[in-house]
Amino acid sequence: MASEITYAEVKFKNASPAAVVKVPPETKMCEHHPQKYPPWLPWLISLLLLLVCIGLAIALCVVPFSHSRDQPTALQQKFREWRCSSTMAQSKEQGWTCCPKDWKLFQGSCYYLSTDALSWVESGQNCTGMGSHLVVINSKAEQEFLSSLAKGVFTEAYESKYYIGLSTQENGQWQWVDQTPYKKADTFWKPGEPNLLFFEKCAAIHVKGSTDSSTYCNWNNILCFTSCYRICELTAKLI
């Protein structure tokens, strides 16, 4: 009789399943590479800071000094060369009265006679651009000085006109450009002038050359758009 094979299933109570080892995923560490600078960069930065400091120091010293001068701003900008003559103040200390180059000094004022011709408005603008104004004549001495100065520019046969800072308003009243009151007794009009006031509203000195021996009453009123020479005036600089 053939023997039978019996199979039995055996379980062990204390047996534990095979341990599962968990392997953490591979991680990559971030590598920090220090940034490298050229060795001369700190020196360059230091040099730039030093230059900035020097520039600020110069600006702080020079600007107040320049403003402390008594020279008017317009003159500082427009004139680089001056001509000075010695004067004696009341304190008997030597001083200097100065005018820009090519300007003529007379009794505390500087005068410029132009070599080009413009209208009256353009002449005034030109004088203003030089820190001055069209001349305002306040005395006989000033009128004689300017007339002689103008006559000396031209030849015997030549004549011309120089605008001055006098014009008439809509109401027919004459007015100086610096608002000096107009006094008829202190004017130097030619005989018969001014005339045609409704049309000729600007004043000029009319000269006829160096040999003209006529009176210094030589003002003439003319059309304001006429091209004429001009006389500019500014206060002389005292130093």
Other CB atoms within 10 A of residue 189 CB: 15
Q: Are 166 and 174 in contact (CB under 8 A)?
A: yes
Helix/strand/coil for 236: coil
Smallest CA-to-CA distance from 217 within 206, 225, 226 is with 206
Q: Are 221 and 168 in contact (CB under 8 A)?
A: yes
- pLDDT given for residue 45 in this prediction: 84
Task: List strand residue ranges (DSSP E) for the chain, in order.
Answer: 82-88, 94-100, 104-106, 109-113, 133-134, 160-168, 174-176, 202-207, 219-222, 229-235, 237-238
All domains of the chain in start order, with CATH = 112-232 (3.10.100.10)
- Residues whose CB falls within 8 Å of the CB of residue 52, separated by 6 or more in sequence, listed in order: none
pTM given for the model: 0.64
Residue carrying the six token digits 């001014």 = 194
Q: Are 150 and 207 in contact (CB under 8 A)?
A: yes
- pLDDT given for residue 142 in this prediction: 95
Q: For every one of its 239 residues, what pLDDT tens digit does the chain have, with 9 covering 90 and above?
A: 444 544 444 444 444 444 444 545 554 444 555 556 677 777 788 888 888 878 877 766 554 433 334 444 444 446 778 888 877 655 556 688 899 988 999 999 999 999 999 999 999 999 999 999 999 999 999 999 999 998 877 655 577 899 999 999 777 789 999 999 999 888 999 999 998 888 899 999 998 765 555 568 999 999 999 999 999 999 999 88
- pLDDT given for residue 104 in this prediction: 94
Element (H, E) at 128: helix 120-129
- pLDDT given for residue 174 in this prediction: 93
- Rounded CA gap, 207 and 147, in Å? 7
Degrees to nearest 5, angle at CA 95 with 67 and 61: 20
Smallest CA-to-CA distance from 108 within 198, 214, 234, 239 is with 234
- Rounded CA gap, 209 and 154, in Å? 5
Using CB atoms within 10 Å of the CB of residue 212, give its burial: 0 to 12 exposed, 13 to 18 middle, 19+ buried: middle
